[in-house]
Each structure stands twice: as structure tokens, then as C-alpha cells.
Amino acid sequence: MGERVTRKTAIVTGAARGIGLAATKLFLEEGVCVAMVDRDADELTVASRGLENVLALPYDVSKPDQVDAMVAETLARFGRIDHLVNNAGVADFGPLEEHTFARWRTVMETNLDGVFLCSQAVIPALKETRGSIVNIASISGVRASTLRVAYGTSKAAVIHLTRQQASELGEFGVRANCVSPGPVATELAKVHTPEIRAAYHDAIPLNRYGSEEEIAGVIVFLCSDSASYVTGQMIAADGGFQSTGVGLPALRGFRVGEAGEEA
């Protein structure tokens, strides 16, 4: 029982791939146990195979009953929750006039409702450990661009929700921060055309996409004692993309007809 009570534990949603999986592995390197949460049960099984000190939970963060089960099973296995990383998200890109309400709700259910539900569910446990929340937004929540009416709006709301969390939970020693990645070399980015990649590279001062591991490093830092006086902040891990203010009209030709997984 001693190990269950003393080893720190993180819940990482959207942990079966991409930034979530990279954050999981970095937490494990730091000696933190991880509850890996993802609604893609098959992919989660593959991702968690061979990893020690993890608990694979095939749950959908947009479903309140599944979120409650996620928290209960994490506490039953590890005895505590120190960090919550709200990384699960979907992206559905397309013109404003073509976005049906169903497509809008699909994005909001995971990207915003899921962050609210998971955060609310872990508050009692985080108060006990004086833990932390890190929400994953996007640079699309900071600066508008074409084809992102639902995605960008959901991420902008996550940034504000982070500030609400920091304001209300600070007195209990619970910190809340947000990471807004710029273009990252995830599976979703593989559908970018050469023209889109060139447009991104030209607009990013570092002249390249970020890596999943680079974003994970910011996440784990914000959860660490090194960030003990940091709360209510939005960190743009974007290679300087936000600072340039350059638009991306070339993205008008890029569409994803089906909602796809994205951090």
C-alpha cells in the first residue's frame, strides 16, 4: 500500500497516440504512474503494451458516467491523482457555412465538454494532493484561421476554462495551466499537402513543425515542482507561430471531411 500512496499519478486523456502517448512516456521516465485514457480501445491496448506502471482505460471523456469510472478506477489502482492532462480532442475542418450543428457538437463534446467533465471529476483528488491540471488547447484557439470554426472556438474556450480553474482552485493549492501547440508532426499532419507544409514553415520562425515530444516536455514541466508558482497561464508551444501574425490563406484548400483525432 505504501507505493500506491507515495508514487505520484497522472491521468492522460487521448493517450493512445500523438502528444498524449509522448506525455505518458515522459511521465513514466519521471517516475510518475499514468492512467492512460482513450476511447480507441484497440489502439490503447497497442500503445500501453510493455509499459510499466500504467493503467489503460478505454473510456470516452465526453460521457459523464465513463469519466466517473475513469477516476474511480485510477484511485482504486494507484490510490491518488496528482495530475490531469486533458489532451483528448477531435478536429473537423471545413468552411463555416458547411458546418452542420452535428459536426459542431461532435467537436465540442470532446474538446470542451470532456475537459470540463474530467476536470470536475478529479477536483476532490487533486485537492488532497495539491495537484495540477494541464489542458491542451491549440494555437487555433488564440488566432483565427480558415476552416476552424468549431475546432478553434472549442480551443479558445479551453483557454478561458483554464483561467476559471486557476481562479477557483488556487486556494486549494491546485494549479491549472494550458498548452497551445502550433503545427505538430502528428498523424493528422500527414494529410497536409506540400503546399500547406510550405505555408506553415514560412509562417513559423523556427521554420519547422514541432514534435510530439517537445509538446510533452512542456506538459510535464507544468505538472512538475519546477512550475509550482505557475498557474492560469497559456503557454504557446508553437515555434514562434503566434508571434508572427501571418495568416494562412493557403489552408482554404485543406479539408478533413470526417472528424479525426487530434490533440
Q: How many CA atoms lie within 13 A of 134 on its CB side?
A: 31
Looking at residue 186, what DSSP letter applies?
S
Phi, psi dihedrals of residue 57, rounded to the nearest 5° = -125, 105
What Cα–Cα distance (Å) separates residue 229 from each residue in 10, 129, 159, 170? 19, 16, 18, 10
CA angle 149, 218, 193 (to 5 degrees): 45
Query: Among the options 59, 151, 200, 209, which is catalytic?
Result: 151
Contact 241, 204 (CB under 8 A): yes
**Residue at grid coordinates 476559471:** 164
Catalytic site includes residue 229? no
Catalytic residues: 151
